Each structure stands twice: as structure tokens, then as C-alpha cells.
Copies of this chain bind each other. A is one copy, B any other.
Amino acid sequence: MANRIDEIDATILELLQERGRMKRSAVAEVVGLSVSAVSERMRKLEDRGVLESYHAVVDPKRLHFDITAIIRVSVDGSEHYPAFVEQASSMDEVLELHSITGDGSHVMKVRTKNTTTLERFLSRVQGISGVSSTSTSIVLSTFKETRALPTEPMDLFEYDEDDA
């Protein structure tokens, strides 16, 4: 029942979080196993849902996405939440959307090209029904931005996909 991430799995996860297109042969060399052993471990990590996905990251500045903002949104009445979440999630500018404790009901991370497009975006958000206020913080500098989690040997437990 309780599956396990051992030292080697932890290293594989670390390598792939850092270099998502790393070749199996290169991984094998680092961890000191054969390519087929690494392949099987990667396949199992994917099957178990530990390795969730792989993505390329594009440099926002090169594509002229010069504004990053953290926006707190207050949605009044939880009956408005589902429609708000659906509409906000579908907007390309919204990179992250979470419901939170504390001031406001939701927080979003947003990227747009400039202040004009940000302003238009904010208007659209404020137009969603239930949204009573927004509070925008513009990002001045980004010092760290990753999704990499620290990995160490540990037990895993079965986990129902539908809960995710």
C-alpha cells in the first residue's frame, strides 16, 4: 500500500525538475543505474502521478510581457465562486488562481504586456459578477520563480485522483 521514493528516485526527480528534457542515458549516468532501470523508474513515477508533467518555460521579457502583478480579489457570496473561478481561469493573463484565507477570497498571479493591458484586464475582472474589490501589487523584481520541490526519500500513500 505505501509506496516509496528512495534515494535514487529523489535524485531523478531533482534532475528532471531542474532539466526537464534530460535524456534517460544522462540521468542513468548520474544515478549509476542502467538506462532501462531509469526508464522504468521514470515510468512508475509518472504512473503514480508523482511526475505530473513537463513544460518548457518561455522568458516573459523577450515576449514583451513586462508586467507581473499579484492581485487580491474579494468575491462576495460564495455562490459566486464557481463562476468567478471558471471565468478567471480561462483568461490567458492569469497564471495562477488560488482561494485563500485572510484579506480577500482569492489571489491571482497575472502577466500582461504593459500597464494598458493590465488596466483592461482589471476592468474585465471587476466586471465578473460577485467581484466587489481588487487590490493590485505590481511586481518590481522577481528573485526566484520555480515549482521545484525539495526531494528526499519518503513513503507515499495511495491517493485518489478525483481528490486532486
A interface with B by C-beta (< 8 Å) = 5, 13, 16-21, 48-65, 68, 70, 85, 88-89, 92, 94-103, 107, 111, 135-151, 154, 156, 159, 164
Contacts and interface: CB of A to CB of B under 8 A. Distances in A.
B139 A98 contact: yes
Task: Give the number of copies in the complex.
Answer: 2
A122 to B, nearest CB: 14
B141 A13 contact: no
Contact of A107 (B17, B50, B137, B148): B137
15 contacts: A5-B63, A20-B21, A50-B58, A50-B59, A50-B63, A55-B55, A61-B164, A70-B100, A70-B107, A88-B144, A89-B144, A92-B150, A95-B146, A96-B146, A99-B143
A111 to B, nearest CB: 6
A144 B140 CA distance: 23
Nearest to A92: B150
Nearest to A142: B98
The 7 closest A-B pairs by CB, nearest first: A20-B54, A16-B56, A102-B137, A92-B150, A100-B137, A97-B144, A20-B55
B58 A17 contact: yes
Contact of A147 (B21, B57, B137, B150): B57
A107 B144 CA distance: 11
A147 B159 CA distance: 26
Given A20-B56, A21-B20, A56-B53, A65 B149 contact: yes
